Structure formats: structure tokens, C-alpha cells
Structure 1
Amino acid sequence: MHISLNGKRAIVSGSTAGIGLAIAIGLAEAGAEVVLNGRTQARVDEALKVVRERLPQARIIGIAADLGTQAGAQTLFDQVPHTDILVNNLGIFEPKPFFEIEDEDWQRFFDVNVLNAVRLSRHYAQGMAGRKWGRVVFLSSESALQIPTEMIHYGMTKTALLAVSRGLAETLAGTGVTVNAVLPGPTRSEGVGDFFAKLAEEQGVSTAELEASFLAEHRPTSLIKRLATVEEVANMVVYLASMQASATTGAALRVDGGVLRSIA
């Protein structure tokens, strides 16, 4: 199967590192014009450099904007009025005991992880429907279905994204626009890697030892017995953005390494 996205424009929110950057690279490799996004111009410029070094012919632009805010979203809308593919990747996580999660934390996680995706989808999906073709992908998580007790506020936002994704898919039924969610499992992204490295240093063990301990204690149902790579998650997103995925919509597709003990 050859995926070609020539002539299509894609926006990937939060794409200066980790899964988002891997998705941007995958979409650009398939021929799409890709809009990268980060909160600061420095991070955006670094990401653009990474992509251009790997794909010199890639058609890419960068937009510095905090999409966790209404003002940041408007900055994106003003500079990129329409798109064919929208990947709602932006998200934050933070392990924190439930009784220490303040109101402000709940609001911040909802604003960044959920409301930003709602704003972008509301703006761009209408244009897709008018043009009779489009792809919207939400980056959820296996934590949406298996809420982690170490960060319940994070799990809550990922569950909310599943509701938004399915509801939007039904709203756009028959328009030629597909809407899906992707559920990564534990993934060796920049944020997770930095978090594990810090913990490993504090505990006096190697990062590999810490990762193995994490899987054994917190994700014992993993069938691959390792962290996924960002490229493995990106591959699923690129497929969902393709012409070949035209009959896949309203779905939640797992790239979780078998963590979820479910056959559906």
C-alpha cells in the first residue's frame, strides 16, 4: 500500500517534538504540506530544521502559538484559514496524587488537552465538510479507558477526547470527512523520556531498568513488553489521514502494545 498525500495540507498541533513531530515527518514524507506548531518560535524553528534535514524537499511551515488558549488558536486560524487534515496532538501530562490536584490543575488540563482540540476541530472541520473531504484525528491514550491513578486528571481529558471524536464523526456523517481517535500506550516520546531519565537518576538506576520496572508495576498487561516508538504511533495517524482509510471513521484505534485487555 502506497500512501500519497500530495496536494493535501495537514496541521499537527504540538508538533515540535515527540509523537507530534514524528506525525509531522510521516505526513510530509507522504507528500502533504505540513504546518508544524509549538508555543515558542525557537521550538518551532528547531523542529523545522529537524524535518528539513531529514526531508529536504518537504513542504513545511511553522506557526508559533499557544493553542491551549483562544488567542493562540486565533493566531493559527489567521495564518492558516483551512486545512485538509487536522491532527489534534497537543497535550500535557503530569503525575500527581488525586488529593493534590487543585481546581486550577483540572481546568488547565481540560483547556490544553480538550478545549484546544474542540476549537481547532470546530473551525477546520466545517471547511472540510464543505469541500467534501477531510481527516480529523484526535490523539487520545490507553489512559482514556484505563484511568491511571497517578494522574486521574490526565485520564479524564483523554476520555473526553473519545467522546468528542465519536460525536464529531456522527455530526459529519456522509460528508466525506472522517474522524478518528488514536490510543497510544506507553511511548518513548521526548516528555516521557525526560521524565524517566530524571526518575532513573534520582533512584540510581539506568533508564532501561526504570522503563522495565514501570511496565512491570504500572502496565503489566503490555504484550510487547517495551515502550512504543513515536514512529509506531505516527504510522497509524498517517494511515488514518490517507485516502485508503476512507471507510474508517468514528473509531478509536489502539497503538498500545496490547496494554488494554480487550478484544474490541
Structure 2
Amino acid sequence: MDLQLKSKTAFISGSTQGIGSAIARQLLAEGARVIINGRTQEKVDEAVANLKRDNSSAKVSGIATDFANTDEINKLLSALPEIDILINNVGIFDLKDFSELTDEEWYRFFEINVMSGIRLSRALLPKMLSRGWGRVIFISSESGLNIPENMIHYGMTKTAMLSLSNGLSKLTKNTAVTVNTILGGPTYSEGVAQAVEQIAQAQNITVEQMKQAIMQNTNPHSLIQRFIEPAEIASLATYLSSPLSIATNGATLRADGGTLQVI
């Protein structure tokens, strides 16, 4: 199927690895121009090189930006060309007891996970509306609905993304611009893989045994009973980026492996 993306330009925040990188890879395969993003120039250059190595015709470039740094964000916004597709993917997470979270940590999570999408959308959505075409996609999480007790600060930011996306979609009436959110489930990204490997080693069990134990203990209701691959989230994001998805707007779409027990 031709997703009609050959003339489109996408920017993906937080895309040197994980879900963001998988989205970049699939958009490039569809012929889109893609601008990726990471915190350091070294990581960006490495990711661009990897994408070009795997796809010699890839039209990919990168901009290094730390979304905790307002000056760097302003430089990014000034450097971006005309963007057709905005993927708000950048985010941080960790496990921590609620009682141990400081004010600074709460602000840091909100600054990176939520304000990144606010600032990018504020800069790019009006231009999409003026042109009459565009796609804004927020990569949220099932943790935004089923808040983990040891990641309340993270879950809060993913809930906030739902509100932001829903509100922005109401600005797109009678245009070919859409704003949607993907609720991802437990995904085996590079960061998660590293943590799982470390825990497995400490407990003297295999990585596969550790992965199964995590799924059984934290996501017993998962219908696929395994971690989701980044490419499986990316497939939905790529479709939502396409002109073919015009009838999907203001939606929250699940790619959670059946973890959420909602209709």
C-alpha cells in the first residue's frame, strides 16, 4: 500500500533510538523526508548514519536538542524547515516512590514530556493549519490511564498528553490537519532492554525469563503476553501520518497489546 508520504517532511522528537527511531525508519521507507532528534550531536550523527546505512535512499537529517534546555529548543524551532508531520515522542521515565519525588523532579518530567509537545505544536500546528494539511501525533502510554504506583510522575505526564492532543484536535475543524494520540503498551526499547538485562544478570536468570516475569507481575492482563516491539508502535504512527488517515482525528488509539481493560 502506498501511504502517499513521498512529498512529506516529518520531525520526530527523541528519535535516535526506541519508538522514535522505529517511526523514522518506517517513514523513510515510505519516501518521506525525516528530521530526527536526540540530546547530543554524537547520538544524532550516529543515528543518521545507521538509518542511511540501512536505506541508501533515505532523506534523513538530524538536529541535536535537549528538551530540558529552553535555549536549545528555541534554536531547534528556528532551524526547522516547513514540517508536515510532527511526532511528539521525546520522553523520560524512571521508577521511584511517590514520597521520594522532589518538586524539581516533577517539574523536570513535565518540562520534557509535556512542554516539549506544547512548544513544538505551538510553533508548527498554526503553519499546518494555514497550509490546510498536517499531522500531529503524540506518543503517550497506557500508563497515562493505568498509572503505575512507582511511576506516578511519568503517568501524570502521559495523561497530560491526552488532554493536550484532544484540545488541539478541536482547532483543526474543516481542514486536512489531524491531531491524534497513540497509547503504547510495554515496549522493548533499548532503554528497557538494558534495564531488563541488568536485572536478569543480578538475579542469575535469562533475559527471556526476566521478560516473562515482568509481564506476569506488572501486566498480567496483556493479551499478547509479551513486550511490544518499537516497530509495532511505529506501524500505527506511520499510518496516522499518511493522507489515508484523514478520517481519524481527535482520537486516542491503543497499541498496548491488550493491556488496558477498557472498551
Q: What residue number does 1:135 align with?
A: 135
Q: What residue number does 2:164 align with?
A: 164
Report 1:94-113 matches (<5 A): 94-113=94-113
For residue 85 of structure 2, what is the amino acid of its counterpart? Answer: I
Residues 77-113 of structure 1, C-alpha deviation per residue, up to 9 Å, x if partnerless? 1211430000000000001111111111100000000
Give the TM-score normalised by structure 2: 0.98
Is 1:7 the counterpart of 2:7 in the alignment? yes
Structure 1: stretches of 5+ with no match in the other structure: none
* Partners of 1:133 and 1:176 within 8 A in 2: yes
* Partners of 2:67 and 2:111 within 8 A in 1: no
Q: What residue number does 1:54 align with?
A: 54
Report 1:173-188 matches (<5 A): 173-188=173-188
CA distance in 1, matches of 2:202, 2:104: 28
Local SS of the residue matching 1:10: strand
Is 1:151 the counterpart of 2:151 in the alignment? yes
For residue 78 of structure 1, what is the amino acid of its counterpart? Answer: S
CA distance in 2, matches of 1:175, 1:70: 31
* Partners of 2:27 and 2:238 within 8 A in 1: yes
Local SS of the residue matching 1:77: helix
- Residue 237 (structure 1) shift: 0.2
For residue 173 of structure 2, what is the amino acid of its counterpart? Answer: A
CA distance in 1, matches of 2:170, 2:200: 45
* Partners of 1:87 and 1:136 within 8 A in 2: yes
Local SS of the residue matching 1:140: strand
* Partners of 1:129 and 1:177 within 8 A in 2: yes
* Partners of 1:48 and 1:61 within 8 A in 2: yes
CA distance in 1, matches of 2:164, 2:72: 21
CA distance in 2, matches of 1:72, 1:88: 17
Local SS of the residue matching 1:60: strand
- Residue 69 (structure 1) shift: 2.7
Percent identity between the two aligned chains: 46
Of 72-81 and 151-160, the range deviating more from structure 2: 72-81
CA distance in 2, matches of 1:7, 1:108: 36
Aligned residues: CA RMSD: 0.9
- Residue 2 (structure 1) shift: 2.3
Residues 129-186 of structure 1, C-alpha deviation per residue, up to 9 Å, x if partnerless? 0000000000000001100111100000000000000000012222221000001100
Local SS of the residue matching 1:93: coil
- Residue 210 (structure 1) shift: 1.1
CA distance in 1, matches of 2:69, 2:250: 27
- Residue 205 (structure 1) shift: 1.5
Local SS of the residue matching 1:163: helix
Local SS of the residue matching 1:146: coil
CA distance in 2, matches of 1:149, 1:15: 27
CA distance in 2, matches of 1:101, 1:165: 27
* Partners of 2:187 and 2:230 within 8 A in 1: yes
Local SS of the residue matching 1:166: helix
- Residue 68 (structure 1) shift: 3.1
The ranges of structure 1 where at least 4 consecutive aligned residues each deviate by more than 6 angstroms after the TM superposition are none
Q: What residue number does 1:43 align with?
A: 43
For residue 4 of structure 1, what is the amino acid of its counterpart? Answer: Q
CA distance in 2, matches of 1:76, 1:26: 23
- Residue 255 (structure 1) shift: 0.6
- Residue 250 (structure 1) shift: 0.5
CA distance in 1, matches of 2:81, 2:53: 28
CA distance in 1, matches of 2:29, 2:208: 31
Aligned length: 263
Local SS of the residue matching 2:259: coil
For residue 102 of structure 1, what is the amino acid of its counterpart? Answer: T
* Partners of 1:135 and 1:177 within 8 A in 2: yes
CA distance in 1, matches of 2:158, 2:66: 19
CA distance in 2, matches of 1:190, 1:249: 30
